Structure 1
Amino acid sequence: MKHFDEARDLSDLPVYGLQDEYTPGFVDAEHCHGRAQLLYASSGVMSVVAGGASFVIPPLRAIWIPSGTLHEVSCRSAVSLRTLYIDEDRTGSAARACRVIEVSDFLKALIVELAHIGDGASGNDVRYQQIVSLLISELSAMPTAPFHAPMPSDPRLLRVCNAILAEPTERRTLDDYASLAGMGRRTFTRQFRQETGMSLGIWCQQVRLLEAVSRLACGQSVTTVAFDVGYESPSAFTSMFHRFFGVPPSQYRF
């Protein structure tokens, strides 16, 4: 259900933060804010559905969610969360699309400090203004991380994608998915590619790799994850993972 957190959206500060701890399985149901939101987990893994895509946010990454964007957040593990609410007009933040951001040590320090300050700062405080200026500058310099899969808008295709996201390691045939969508095989494959920009097979592969990131970040071994997400060997999994993310899967074990 759509709602706005008015107490936070109406703050006099251009940027203010919160810090909190969430248990595994916690779900913040679909909602939106009047401000942009930057979600950063110093530990733990989040899944976010927003802006026509499904995202996985491993530790030491953040997701930018523009104001007014409906989103749902799920905690795959215990999450130590730092949240910043950012007035896009007052800070000059121009990003209007959701994206997962690589977090430098410098950006991490800025996020943590603003979350610690909360909404108790004064807008006239010189130090606060300098931290906000540095935050906005550093955010614009950070690269986007490839932790998302595009979601279709057609409710029939969306039903299929949600079923895959709920059970990403389950294997079904193309005909099974076309039947779930209530569409013919040829129509299903054509429309899926039109709406997502990729075939169902590539989309499923991408979702399984995102699932792998979640499992690795939660502490599972590379070998266990490789077999659980459907690869015939750890070496095949490692090769595909490296091709997609540019690093070996061991980089995501925390």
Structure 2
Amino acid sequence: MTTPLIRPDLVTSPDGPFLAAAELTQAAPREMSLHSHARGQLMGALSGLMSIGLESHRWVVPAIHAIWIPPHRAHSVRSFGPFAGWSVFIAEARCEALPKEPRAIRASALMREAVHRAATWPGEPLDASQARIADVIIDELAAAHEEPLHLPRPADAALVKITDALGRDLADNRRLEEWAAWAGVSARTLSRRFIADTGLTFAQWRQQARMLRSLERVADGAPVTIIALELGYENISAFIDVFRRTFGTTPGRYTAMKRV
């Protein structure tokens, strides 16, 4: 059974402080099955990696990033390898000005420091100083730019067949035309449906799937050479180049990212 990160009443009750926070550091993976709550939740990683299942999307949250989950949205959570992170729970009434849809963000240093301070509070009504810090967290969330750290799951049956197959073997380098023939549709139809159903081209969807999987494997401590081969890259340099263009750093430097 997963130990609660924070007092249950600070998650489920509209009473008490309008913002409550907690921090967590652990060596073992953490997993929570599908659940929801009336408060909005902002979940951040300081080191390591989280994967979040949310409706038809899978989100991956690497170090110094966070995901915003609006109130009442069912989600599951899993961490990979040694992990340090935090959660903020915001009363539903204070979520009106916040994004109505889930989003991944890069947590600013100001936000992370404010959360660190809020995590020390005892769960009582906030005094004036605490309320100002809580408002900083909410303001930083409202102003944060969205980061592309999610993978949309298509609804179309042919696309689901293909994406499920790719999910089982991301090293499969078949071209769009070959996948279309395998799924029994024309290449033009497949291309059009991918964009309409996911907002991404087939090539973009596969690269996004590979990059999100690479974060999980990096967090697990897998060697870069193994990851590159598992994801279908012909050589390590090609994989590192795509990783750097996607996440702004190399796999080796990503593993060293700490709370700074």
Q: Same fold (TM over 0.5)?
A: yes
Alignment of 1:1-254 (within 5 A): 7=9, 8-10=11-13, 11-21=15-25, 24-90=28-94, 92-117=96-121, 120-123=123-126, 125-154=127-156, 157-158=159-160, 160-162=162-164, 164-165=166-167, 167=168, 169-171=170-172, 173=174, 184-186=184-186, 189-254=191-256
Taking only the aligned residue pairs, the percentage that are identical comes to 29
What CA distance in whole angstroms lies between the structure 1 residues aligned with 2:180 and 2:99? 36
The Cα shift of 1:69 comes to 1.4
Structure 1, residues 77-119: CA drift from partner, whole Å, max 9, x if none? 232332111124336542112111112222111112222325x
Q: Calculate the TM-score normalised by the size of structure 1.
A: 0.80
Q: Which runs of 5+ in 1 are unaligned?
A: none
What CA distance in whole angstroms lies between the structure 2 residues aligned with 1:51 and 1:232? 34
Worse-matched range after superposition: 199-208 or 15-24: 15-24
Instruction: Kindly indicate whether the alpha-carbon contact (under 8 Å) linking 1:47 and 1:54 is maintained by their aligned counterparts in 2.
Output: yes
Which residue identity does 2:170 align to in structure 1? T
Q: Which runs of 5+ in 2 are unaligned?
A: 1-6
Which residue identity does 1:37 align to in structure 2? Q
2:244 is paired with a residue of what secondary structure? helix
The structure-2 alpha-carbon separation of the partners of 1:114 and 1:163, relative to structure 1 and needing over 3 Å to count, comes to farther
What CA distance in whole angstroms lies between the structure 1 residues aligned with 2:25 and 2:76? 17
Worse-matched range after superposition: 19-28 or 50-59: 19-28
The Cα shift of 1:248 comes to 3.6
The Cα shift of 1:143 comes to 2.9
1:108 is paired with a residue of what secondary structure? helix
What CA distance in whole angstroms lies between the structure 1 residues aligned with 2:119 and 2:165? 35
Q: Calculate the TM-score normalised by the size of structure 2.
A: 0.79
The structure-2 alpha-carbon separation of the partners of 1:152 and 1:6, relative to structure 1 and needing over 3 Å to count, comes to farther
The Cα shift of 1:136 comes to 1.3
Q: Tell me what 2:4 maps to.
A: none
What CA distance in whole angstroms lies between the structure 2 residues aligned with 1:92 and 1:28? 26
Instruction: Kindly indicate whether the alpha-carbon contact (under 8 Å) linking 1:168 and 1:211 is maintained by their aligned counterparts in 2.
Output: no
Worse-matched range after superposition: 236-245 or 33-42: 236-245
What CA distance in whole angstroms lies between the structure 1 residues aligned with 2:73 and 2:108? 25
Instruction: Kindly indicate whether the alpha-carbon contact (under 8 Å) linking 1:149 and 1:206 is maintained by their aligned counterparts in 2.
Output: yes
What CA distance in whole angstroms lies between the structure 2 residues aligned with 1:246 and 1:87? 34
Which residue identity does 1:34 align to in structure 2? A
